Amino acid sequence: MKKQSYDLVGDIHGQAPELEELLEKLSYKKVAGVWRHAERKMIFLGDFVDRGNYQKEVIDIVKPMVEQGYALSVMGNHEYNAIAFCTKDDKGNYLRSHSIKNIKQHRAFIKAYRDNSEEYNSVIEWFKTLPLWLDLLELNVIHACWDENLMNKIMDFQNSNLLTNDLLHLSADKNNWQYEAIETLLKGKEIPLPDGYSFLDKDKNRRHEIRIQWWEQKAGTYQEAFLGPESARTHIPNDPIKGDHLITYGHDKKPLFLGHYWMEGRPKLLADNIACLDYSVAKKGGKLVAYRFNPEKQLNNENFIEVQRAMS
């Protein structure tokens, strides 16, 4: 039996022109309104929405591909946020507050569907069908962090890798382990900085925690573990990290693909069997990145495919 070949694509964030250019570059064809490849299947890493000017256009490309079997996808933190933003708890409060910050983050997505609430609700319901991770025969896929302990807790809790209604509501409460699980799987591992340290993230929000390279076992200090904008590195102390915050993903494990991390520069592997495909297409100078998986056990830097962010 011939093994399935995949093309994995990083975070799109409403940048439909770049997605169409990448699909063409990967030899996908639009047939009866749906992009497809005769032999290969696409895997999306989530974060279709927010930021860019083509929110609806991205969904109109991706959703039919997944529904008709030409693509797979995992959920990104922006899909999770969109679901929580329009879901109320039993007291009538939204699971994700309608704060100025959150409204600003979701503005582009909400604006795209403001004249069609039925279609908006349909998209939200479709987001709920996206699994939190994919454990396939030859590879693993997750948006941010492959934490098997938390994944196993979710499976023990509900015997499903989907965002069920119970998991959604419980994960909105910081007092529940489900909150940590979703935060980690979809947003990555974060650790608090020592007292007195902070930095500004890409959206100019002040952060007192840092996102870490959870796979980097050699990282012993905050600076060595830090994953974020280089402009912020001078604000990160070089003190030893307190506690055990790293996760082992052995070199003998299946190739793992991630999105989420706003990488910069030329696409390259994080480890021999780990690749991140988010190269910041949502900002000027960024790019939309794919990896052609053939499949192989040893990932290769030559298999990255990219298109530059359009000027708009």
pLDDT in tens, 267-296: 999 999 999 999 999 999 999 999 999 988
Mean pLDDT over 36-64 rounds to 97
The pLDDT mean for the chain works out to: 93
% of the chain beyond a pLDDT of 90: 74
pLDDT of residue 243: 67
Check whether 306 has a pLDDT greater than 90. yes
Burial of 224 (0-12, 13-18, 19+ CB in 10 A): middle
pLDDT of residue 3: 86
pLDDT of residue 90: 93
Neighbour tally for 166: CB within 10 Å = 11
> 99-113, 182-196, 240-254, 274-288: lowest mean pLDDT where?
240-254
The alpha helices in the chain, defined as continuous H runs, are 16-25, 55-67, 77-85, 100-112, 117-127, 148-158, 165-171, 177-187, 222-225
In angstroms, rounded to a whole number, what is the distance separating the alpha carbons of residues 255 and 275? Answer: 8
Mean pLDDT over 43-68 rounds to 97
Check whether 76 has a pLDDT greater than 70. yes
By C-alpha distance, which of 19, 116, 6, 118 is closest to 72? 6
Check whether 120 has a pLDDT greater than 90. yes
Q: pTM surpassing 0.85?
A: yes
User: Please, which residues have CB within 8 angstroms of residue 93's CB and are 6 or more apart in sequence?
Assistant: none
pLDDT of residue 2: 76
Mean pLDDT over 39-46 rounds to 97
